[in-house]
Structure 1
Amino acid sequence: MHIGELARRTGVSVRALRYYEEQGLLVPARAANGYREYTKAAVDVVGCIQLLYAAGLSSTKVAEVLPAACRDAEGVVLSGELTGELETVRARLIGEIEERQASLRLLDEVMAAACWDGVTLQEENPLPHVGLRMGLTGLAAEPG
């Protein structure tokens, strides 16, 4: 498939795909006319690249990790330094996930403590919700 088709299938711009090629992350074959030709596997590779970038890795780190991430990972050895960096990224992502889960719990509590009138949320109880405050601060709600 040509670069435009790969862009369409992956939702990644042609410019980004060319950048991936410049960085050595994506290696298309070249047709006699000079056009890039990608295999179906390139769709998965682009997906891996996107996920690694979303995790906060630099192009250099993506290039180091990519063979283990979405290609034939057998026999791929990651250095101790890189493994340590990936553990740090993983810990950061877990923290972000936990923060998002706390946000979801908060929204669930707010919605459970309120009734929907079709336009705005109206609190059933004018006092601060004890569970809500405990979840945010670890402190019980103070009356009044």
Structure 2
Amino acid sequence: MAHLKETIGKYSELIARAALMASGWQAVSKAETEEPFDISARDPGTGEWKTFQVKTIRDRREDRGFLTVEGRKGDGRPYTPEDVDFFIGVLIGEGDFPRVWMFDNRGITDYWGPSEREGKRWVEMDLNFMREDFAENNEAEAV
């Protein structure tokens, strides 16, 4: 039987992939080989390939006022921008559905957010797949 930490990590990856697809990212795929990133996808605006490291968010709002994501690799060093472009943090266990945020990899070991003071570093992603949004895009491409 899978260890609880592994199960939570796999669940977070699935949720992150769903959030990317619901947000219009294309060709969302899981790394099949050992890579510093978990997911790669094509940006819906530019068509560029981007990489994502998925982390389960630690809820520290009661004691510190923030959600946190650890930006360290297994060896304790931070992920560099060459390793991954973005982090996707998945908050589970709160409410009926998970919540998902995406933010730039800044090469640091700990990310704290979301915060009004911080501006838009953490962008919350919608998990609701809106068919009509994609129908409009496909009709425009066909013209």
Into which bin does the TM-score normalised by the smaller protein fall? under 0.3
How high is the TM-score relative to the length of structure 2? 0.25
Query: Rg: which structure is higher?
Result: 1
Structure with the greater relative contact order (CA < 8 A, sep ≥ 6): 1 or 2? Answer: 2
Higher helix share: 1
Higher strand content, 1 or 2 = 2
TM-score using structure 1 length: 0.25
